[in-house]
Structure 1
Amino acid sequence: MSDEAETDLDEAEEIRAAETEARLRAENKAERAERAERMAREGAAAMAEHLAAQVAVDERTKRLRSLRLAKEASDAQAAATAKQEADEAKAAKERSRKTAARKSAKKD
Structure 2
Amino acid sequence: MAEVAQSIMEKAEARFVDKQKKTAERNKATAEYMSEAKARIIKTARLRELRLAKEEADRVAEALNPTPKKKRTAVKKAGAAPKGEKS
* TM tier relative to shorter chain: 0.7 to 0.9
1:53 aligns with 2:46: no
**Which string of whole-angstrom CA distances, capped at 9 and with x for unpartnered residues, describes residues 18-38 of structure 1?**
xxxxxxxxxxxxxxxxxxxxx
CA distance in 2, matches of 1:59, 1:76: 26
SS in 1 for 2:10: helix
Displacement after TM superposition at 1:45 (Å): 1.2
Q: Which runs of 5+ in 2 are unaligned?
A: 67-87
1:46 alignment partner AA: V
Displacement after TM superposition at 1:63 (Å): 0.7
Partner residue, 1:69? 27
* RMSD over equivalenced CA pairs, Å: 0.8
Identity of aligned residues (%): 9
* TM, length-normalised to structure 1: 0.59
**Which string of whole-angstrom CA distances, capped at 9 and with x for unpartnered residues, describes residues 48-103 of structure 1?**
11100000011111111111101100100000001111111111110110010010
Name segments (4+ residues, structure 1) moved above 4 Å.
none
2:36 aligns with one of 72, 78, 95? 78
The within-5 A match list for 1:36-47 is 43-47=1-5
**Greater RCO (Cα-Cα under 8 Å, separation 6 or more):** 2
* TM, length-normalised to structure 2: 0.72
Paired residue total? 66
Q: Which runs of 5+ in 1 are unaligned?
A: 1-42
Partner residue, 2:56? 98
Displacement after TM superposition at 1:47 (Å): 1.1
Larger Rg: 1
Q: Which structure's residues are more often helix, by fraction?
A: 1
